Amino acid sequence: MPEGPAVPPTPPVPLSALLARADLGLRQLAGPAGPGPVIHWAHASEMADPYPYLLGGELLLTAGVHVPEAEAAGSGSYFDDYVARIVAAGGAALGFGVAPVHDTVPGSLVAACERHRLPLLEVPPRTTFSAVARAVWQLMAQAQHAELRRVAEAQQSLAAAASRPDPVPAVLRQLARRLGGTAVLYGPDRTAIASAGGGPGAEKTKTGPAGTAEPARLGELADVVRPAGAPASATDTDAVAGTHLAAYALGTGQGFVLGVAAPRREPGDHTIASVAAVLLSLLTGEHQSRTGVDRSSALVRLLLGAAPEDVAGLLGAGRWSVVHARPDTGRPDPVAASALGAALGSALVDLGDAVVRVLVPEGREVGPQSGWTLGVSAAVPPREWPDADVRAAHALARARATRTALARAGDRSGLAGLVGSDEAEAHARTLLAPLADSPALTETLRMWLSLHGSWDRTAVALAVHRNTVRQRVARCAALLGTDLDDPDVRMELWFALRRR
């Protein structure tokens, strides 16, 4: 007997929503009704014992082919045993198709489902089992889309709350509203320093600092994630109040914990609470220290027009590396970007559409990060940050093209250091003048040279077809009037492109 249904990670479908589909014409004959029963998928089977074939959470569909004639008349215990096996396997409901085998749903089946509290649906002759299954998938897709939209809206509202003058209470209020429960911030001394929400399970609560009902067992769960080396989060259910509890250790290393209590647990709630935990980590950690104040001052001064070198002292380091990072799967999100910044030892993180940029102070070794591809510039003073940003982007493109976890931009000047900056730049402008009106040709030539003339790797780095690379490089050779197979020519062009 299974411990519980192995349900999929998609939102379940309320049985009432399926019954509301007029095109199906389903009718419930037995079992609990209302908003409670939910189904996770539909499965048709004519096996006399469906137990071995059920995973749990199914709407089992049958036309009664397996029912002996004597049992269809209502004698014996066949239906009682049949329904008991469905319930034992975790089946959510039973749909019985009327015609062509049976003209009506057997009364003994209705009675058995009522005894075992298994919802029983009558499927009319005009409705195929395929139509019922398709309706379940459609409702699941709609529910999943609605859940994704709910999570996205919650993330936006939490980020907006974090920018308010009272960010910590605002984030807690927004989190409690989004989850329909209580959110509590516990300090290192295990006391609740801020809370918000209505407090489910009020009969077993204590009063928080703002008069908010705080579930008593939530503080105990917070202690589970507080010690060093403990899991970052933990969940539990209050057996008395039936409240879902969760605790998240904030990434400040100072013992702060976010506790959440809600009357239900939706699939996207963990993601929403995790975003709130990251925001609260920033608000309760470094931003509350002198370092955080100095960093905020530096950013404000930059926005007001100060030069980077004039504010670099507030950031605590003279030289910085720029890191460009791209996740190996999917697109970066705020939680993943913040986690990457923490792993690299910096809170200066910029989340872009496809790439995360991190400004890392000199002395922090940047190594490969699981699930990310990185391009790293050399450590440079603030006035050279824009150039370092470009070099980090090029290094990331090279890392992706060569399928390596990390690539570093060269920080040695070599022979280039023997030529004055003005002369080198003038030479580069003159040599590359034929390509000046075509950034695509210039970038293709630069990437092609950096990858030793590899067509395939250049195509991967630029996200174009290899034939496009060949055509662009041939066009460059024609415009420049030179032989790109000559190593001396390649060296001179590479020198010019580096200076450019």
Mean pLDDT by 10 residues, the chain (500 residues): 49 88 94 83 91 90 86 74 93 92 91 94 94 92 83 87 80 90 82 74 43 64 67 64 81 76 82 87 62 66 73 70 88 76 79 87 84 90 84 88 85 49 76 88 89 88 90 91 87 81
CA atoms within 13 A on the CB side of 353: 0
Q: Are 25 and 126 in contact (CB under 8 A)?
A: yes
**pTM for this one?**
0.45
Q: Which pLDDT score, from 0 to 100, does residue 113 have?
A: 94
Cβ-based neighbour number of residue 296 at 10 Å: 12
Q: Which fold has domain 415-499?
A: Arc Repressor Mutant, subunit A (1.10.10)
Q: Which pLDDT score, from 0 to 100, does residue 63 have?
A: 93
Residues 13-139, CATH architecture? 3-Layer(aba) Sandwich (3.40)
Measured at the alpha carbon of residue 354, what is the angle toward residues 10 and 317, in degrees to the nearest 5? 120
Q: What pairing do the DSSP bridges indicate for beta strands 320-327 and 192-197?
A: unpaired
Q: Which pLDDT score, from 0 to 100, does residue 24 have?
A: 94
Q: What pairing do the DSSP bridges indicate for beta strands 406-408 and 372-376?
A: parallel
Does the domain at 163-287 match CATH 3.30.450.30? Answer given as yes
What are the structural domain ranges in the chain? 13-139, 163-287, 290-315, 319-411, 415-499
Q: Which pLDDT score, from 0 to 100, does residue 292 have?
A: 58
Q: Please give the Cα distance from 489 to 150 (Å, whole number).
A: 57
